């Protein structure tokens, strides 16, 4: 392996010749060999967008220092990163400095070295040029916000929408099927299967609405605050101009934070937005549990629906098929909820002018978005889209339920209805037989009153 010598303010460091990073990246790479979690590429791309926008704005506001040649070299190097051509040059661990400074410098160094190569001469310095008018302290939180917004808009929202469409189709297909409802895991009054499905559909739709609402707070960026929020070493209005450029580059709206002191130290917008992911995860967990319970059996469970049999379910029991997609959803939901706890605790550590848990916040946020996007797609394709109602079993359970007695309450009173239900249960007879035996109603009166199709809506 051939090496070259790079230097920073602390001295010289050897770096492999085929790597574009410099001395500060190398020091971090050597000093933080912790775990296998790397700064996500979504963060690298977001930081790169910031660098590209800042170069353009610096050229407009200070063309004597950020020349056209320097700007062109930075922009070209940034475009290569954003095209995914330089992914191998960002090796740093999540478990580094809490400000993300080392990753900010990793991006600065790669852009500088590749930009110099593109220019054919050494015109770029990672700090003086690529990091001009910036600090890790405003770049990294801006990138967290951007990467969250872009990951949600470019991936997760589409998956949620598709799942809602699948539930809507299932509603239409099952709009005439009546089944027994359940509360507290016990028999309750009847519902239409389509009504039950509509609850699932609304869960994911409402979660999507909450998430879109939360993105509004993340569109406000810390850029322009530099080290402590004062904007020292940056031109007046720098953040506003950068956000205009970033909106063009990213293809979605971003704006300057109205208080940089807040934006550097507080991570409440991220907590709020991840809370929407947490709500989505909770709803998905509940839906997955409903589906696997309704599909339990096939002969000794509820068995009211069937779900696709995707793979063998047991290494010892032939013919067994398990609700594996549902189990995957619940594990992802658990991980998202764990991420939510970590992010909430990390956000509470904004001591004085800076939060120093930002790499783990970024990692956990993007991990949650990626997991939710993937599992929703898989759940939709491999489970939900193939749900079929077992109308025979639903009808059987409906007819056996004692909770049809609820429709008698307005006619015979709550206490008499309870007496009928108890007699039917104790003597293992139908509700009709109990009414006749107790001389409360005859069979004609019973059949006129107890009609499940009239119990799936109000009077």
Residues annotated catalytic, as ranges: 184, 314
Q: Please, what sign has the CA dihedral across residues 117, 142, 368, 216?
A: negative
Identify whether the C-beta of residue 274 lies closer than 8 Å to the C-beta of residue 365.
yes
Residue 447 DSSP class:
H
Backbone angles phi, psi at 236, to 5 degrees: -60, 135
Element spanning 193, H or E: helix 193-218
Structure tokens at 10: 């602390």
Q: Rounded CA gap, 56 and 64, in Å?
A: 13
């Amino acid at each position: 392996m051939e090496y070259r010598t790079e230097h920073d303010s602390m001295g010289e460091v050897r770096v492999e010749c085929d790597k574009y990073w410099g001395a500060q990246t190398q020091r971090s790479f050597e000093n933080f060999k912790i775990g296998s979690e790397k700064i996500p590429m979504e963060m690298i791309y977001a930081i790169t967008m910031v660098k590209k926008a800042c170069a353009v704005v610096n050229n407009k506001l200070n063309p004597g220092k950020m020349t056209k040649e320097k700007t062109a070299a930075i922009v070209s190097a940034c475009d290569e990163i954003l095209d995914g051509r330089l992914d191998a040059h960002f090796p740093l661990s999540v478990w580094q400095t809490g400000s993300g400074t080392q990753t900010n410098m990793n991006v600065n160094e790669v852009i500088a070295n590749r930009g110099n190569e593109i220019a054919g001469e050494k015109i770029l310095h990672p700090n003086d040029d690529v990091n001009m008018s910036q600090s890790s302290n405003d770049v990294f939180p801006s990138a967290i916000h951007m990467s969250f917004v872009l990951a949600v808009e470019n991936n997760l929202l589409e998956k949620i929408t598709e799942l809602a469409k699948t539930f809507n189709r299932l509603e239409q297909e099952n709009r005439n099927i009546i089944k027994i409802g359940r509360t507290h895991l016990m028999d309750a009054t009847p519902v239409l299967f389509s009504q039950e499905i509509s609850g699932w559909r609304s869960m994911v739709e409402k979660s999507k609405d909450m998430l879109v609402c939360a993105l509004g707070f993340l569109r406000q960026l810390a850029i322009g605050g530099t080290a402590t929020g004062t904007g020292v070493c940056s031109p007046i209005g720098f953040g506003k101009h950068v956000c205009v450029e970033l909106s063009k580059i990213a293809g979605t709206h971003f704006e300057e934070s109205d208080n940089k002191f807040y934006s550097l130290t507080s991570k409440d917008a991220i907590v709020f937005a991840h809370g929407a992911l947490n709500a989505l995860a909770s709803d998905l967990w509940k839906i997955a549990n409903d589906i696997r319970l309704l599909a339990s059996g096939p002969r000794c469970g509820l068995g009211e629906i069937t779900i696709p049999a995707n793979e063998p379910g047991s290494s010892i029991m032939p013919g067994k098929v398990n609700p594996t997609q549902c189990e995957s959803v619940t594990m992802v939901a658990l991980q998202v909820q764990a991420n939510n706890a970590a992010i909430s605790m990390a956000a509470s550590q904004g001591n004085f002018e800076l939060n120093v848990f930002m790499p783990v916040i970024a990692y956990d946020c993007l991990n949650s978005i990626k997991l939710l996007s993937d599992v929703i797609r898989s759940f939709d394709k491999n489970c939900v889209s193939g749900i079929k109602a077992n109308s025979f079993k639903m009808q059987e359970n409906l007819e056996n339920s004692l909770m049809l007695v609820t429709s008698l309450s307005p006619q015979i009173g709550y206490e008499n209805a309870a007496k009928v239900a108890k007699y039917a249960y104790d003597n293992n007879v139908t509700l009709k037989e109990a009414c006749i035996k107790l001389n409360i109603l005859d069979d004609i009166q019973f059949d006129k009153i107890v009609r499940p199709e009239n119990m799936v809506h109000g009077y």
